[in-house]
A and B are shown apart, each in its own frame.
Chain A
Amino acid sequence: MTHILETVDLCKEFSGFRAVDTVSLKVREGEIHALIGPNGAGKTTVFNLLTKFLPASSGRILFGGQDITGMKPAPLARRGLVRSFQISATFPHLTVLENVRVALQRRLAPTFAFWLPGRVLTRLDGRAMDLLEQVDMQDFAAVKAADLPYGRKRSVEIATTLAMEPRVMLLDEPTQGMGHEDVERVTRLIKRVAAGRTILMVEHNMKVVAGICDRISVLQRGAILAEGSYAEVSADPRVLSAYMGSETQLEGAHG
């Protein structure tokens, strides 16, 4: 099995504090891979390093076998490594349809043409609607993103990310702060869109992780503590003590 995303001894220091410590992460193509760990373990920092929103202090990052350590975030996104954010990342005053169109526009329509009328973008509407249907948001197309409930914003975000036709999607806590129903809906959605692509997600909700993730890496104080399937990881006493300070059920460890 090939590794589509790989880090080699990745480190990040913030003025002496080592937030990410020699992390060697291997994400297999086609899998849903979870990155878990207690608060402050460095999960989001790893995401920021992978997507080049932060420069690494040392180490290398390989994407599809190519070294991307020195790339900038926007060109990397264009290559197919696309992220979401911990705090819902929509364009609040654009409609749901326009949100998805922004991503399509960058690939398929002019973006610097300041002399063209905006209606040239309407030819993307059909495609945008298709993407919205994939996430069950077609009925909300004309609603402003800011007026959506939180769980629905996540769906818009996923549709927008899908519009990039990413090879790898990085989802930062996709179910964080959601009610029970929304969690289930978004989980099913992630499972569905994972077909044919790779997903790396930071997730606190162990039910979600146990339900859909093929492989799990546990991060603690910036370093990888354990790696494996849910069964392997959840049986690891080091993981249990890292989470709870005692050997209790891992499932109780919701963020």
Chain B
Amino acid sequence: MTLQRNLLIALGLAALVVAPAFIYPMLIVKLLCFAIFASAFNLMLGYTGLLSFGHAMFFGSAGYALGVTTKFLHWPPELGILAGIAVAALIGFVAGAVAIRRQGIYFAMITLAISQLIYFVAMQMEWTGRDDGFHGIPRGRLFGLIDLENDLALYGLVAVCFVLALLAIHRIVTSPFGLALTAIRENEPRAVSLGYDVERYKVLALTLSAALAGLAGSLKALALSYESLNDLHWALSGEVVMMCILGGLGTLGGPVAGAFFVILLQNFLADKVGEWLSVIIGVVFLSCILAFRKGLVGEIAAWMERSRKPIPGQESRR
């Protein structure tokens, strides 16, 4: 298992290094940004068990925060990214404090409402460029040394951030906090009866998830030198749910695979089928929900588990 996993990790890292030689780097940058975003979302739905239907607010707000700090305040890109993360985390904390007492559909609706609020504020503001988008975000020089106008340098930055984000998520879910979160997800009343203030753990989870979504949003805005209202739109909040479920909830690789799948599908089909794109993605999503409940990665992992050890004497009761 560990051997297999290490092999997989080595392959993944190697792929990250050689990929830009074969594929247009900016496409991979986009893929990685959405992979980080979906992984951040998975921290909520997969590991905390709460469906947020407003995750685009973190993604988009971070993009605008990066835009404002780098374009108007002339901050270097690394500080702009940190500003994006900070703003997203702050919004996550506030949204969490407001919404966390609600569960299920109510939590989803409150997060959706807050994200719509932010969307309409952004649409009213002069400086966001409204429907035209926020243009002219400078890529700048990373740490004053590396010129990010070079696509390969930018790719390097995004790839490193991607790896760090996955490491961070892995650490979070296996940390003492992650284990407390698991207990709360598995049996919330019991966790309460053991003295856990479950709401505080959920707020922290949402804040961390928002911060990572903010990293994704900042990187995307930096890469495209442009931030659009679409990144705050509820449709994106829905898309990230889809990416996660397609790829496999509660797995580290699932959201990455899901994000790659959805974005690639969009990229390859966009100029061929036009408006039918949504229908095709909808059908794919539907068949996934009906046939592969665990998602791409989840099903593969379950299949490997089954083929590896036929459990002697007892069948697993999952």
* B187 nearest CB neighbor, chain A only: A91
CA distance A90 to B317 in the complex (A): 15
The 8 Å CB contact of A77, one of B174, B187, B195, is B195
Q: In the complex the two chains form, is B179's CB within 8 Å of A105's CB?
A: yes
Q: In the complex the two chains form, is B187's CB within 8 Å of A105's CB?
A: no
Which 7 A/B pairs are nearest by Cβ-Cβ distance?
A114-B177, A78-B195, A89-B190, A77-B195, A91-B186, A118-B174, A102-B183
A112 to chain B, nearest CB (A): 5
Q: Given the complex, which residues of B lie within 8 Å of A160, measured CB to CB? A: 194
A240 to chain B, nearest CB (A): 34
CA distance A91 to B49 in the complex (A): 14
Q: Is A98 an interface residue (CB 8 A)?
A: yes
Which of B7-15, B133-141, B196-204, B272-280 lies on the face that meets chain A?
B196-204
Q: Is A109 an interface residue (CB 8 A)?
A: yes
A115 to chain B, nearest CB (A): 7
Q: In the complex the two chains form, is B175's CB within 8 Å of A82's CB?
A: no
CA distance A40 to B317 in the complex (A): 32
Q: Given the complex, which residues of B lie within 8 Å of A75, measured CB to CB? A: 195, 197
Q: Given the complex, which residues of B lie within 8 Å of A83, measured CB to CB? A: 193
Q: Is A164 an interface residue (CB 8 A)?
A: yes
Interface residues of B (CB under 8 A from A): 171-172, 174-180, 182-183, 186-187, 189-198, 200-201, 204, 208, 314, 316-318
Q: In the complex the two chains form, is B194's CB within 8 Å of A77's CB?
A: yes
Q: In the complex the two chains form, is A91's CB within 8 Å of B190's CB?
A: yes
* A72 nearest CB neighbor, chain B only: B197
Of B187, B200, B201, B316, most A-chain CB atoms within 10 Å: B187
7 A-B pairs with C-beta separation under 8 A: A53-B189, A74-B192, A89-B187, A102-B191, A111-B176, A111-B180, A112-B200
Q: In the complex the two chains form, is B175's CB within 8 Å of A89's CB?
A: no
CA distance A75 to B196 in the complex (A): 8
Q: Given the complex, which residues of B lie within 8 Å of A89, measured CB to CB? A: 187, 189-190, 193
Q: In the complex the two chains form, is A113's CB within 8 Å of B176's CB?
A: yes
Q: Given the complex, which residues of B lie within 8 Å of A72, measured CB to CB? A: 197
Q: A93-130: contact bitstring with B at CB < 8 Å (1 yes, 0 no)?
A: 11000100111011101111111111011000000000
* A114 nearest CB neighbor, chain B only: B177
Of B179, B182, B194, B314, most A-chain CB atoms within 10 Å: B194
The 8 Å CB contact of B172, one of A78, A92, A109, A114, is A114
Given A73-B192, A74-B198, A77-B193, verify A105-B182 contact (CB < 8 Å): no
Q: Given the complex, which residues of B lie within 8 Å of A77, measured CB to CB? A: 192-195
Q: In the complex the two chains form, is A118's CB within 8 Å of B193's CB?
A: no
B140 to chain A, nearest CB (A): 29
B196 to chain A, nearest CB (A): 6
Q: Given the complex, which residues of A lie within 8 Å of B201, measured CB to CB? A: 111-112
Q: Is A85 an interface residue (CB 8 A)?
A: yes
CA distance A77 to B192 in the complex (A): 8
B70 to chain A, nearest CB (A): 28
Q: In the complex the two chains form, is B193's CB within 8 Å of A113's CB?
A: no
Given A91-B183, A147-B317, verify A111-B177 contact (CB < 8 Å): yes
CA distance A164 to B194 in the complex (A): 7
Q: In the complex the two chains form, is A109's CB within 8 Å of B176's CB?
A: yes
Q: Is A244 an interface residue (CB 8 A)?
A: no
Given A90-B190, A94-B186, A105-B180, verify A74-B175 contact (CB < 8 Å): no
Q: In the complex the two chains form, is A90's CB within 8 Å of B204's CB?
A: no
Q: Is A155 an interface residue (CB 8 A)?
A: no
B74 to chain A, nearest CB (A): 32
Q: Is A235 an interface residue (CB 8 A)?
A: no
Q: Given the complex, which residues of A lie within 8 Å of B317, measured CB to CB? A: 146-147
CA distance A45 to B307 in the complex (A): 47
Q: Given the complex, which residues of A lie within 8 Å of B178, measured CB to CB? A: 114, 118
Q: Given the complex, which residues of B lie within 8 Å of A220, measured CB to CB? A: none
Q: Is A51 an interface residue (CB 8 A)?
A: yes
Q: In the complex the two chains form, is B187's CB within 8 Å of A114's CB?
A: no
Q: In the complex the two chains form, is A120's CB within 8 Å of B189's CB?
A: no
Q: Given the complex, which residues of B lie within 8 Å of A90, measured CB to CB? A: 187, 190
Given A98-B179, A102-B183, verify A117-B171 contact (CB < 8 Å): yes
Given A111-B177, A114-B171, verify A106-B196 contact (CB < 8 Å): yes
A106 to chain B, nearest CB (A): 5
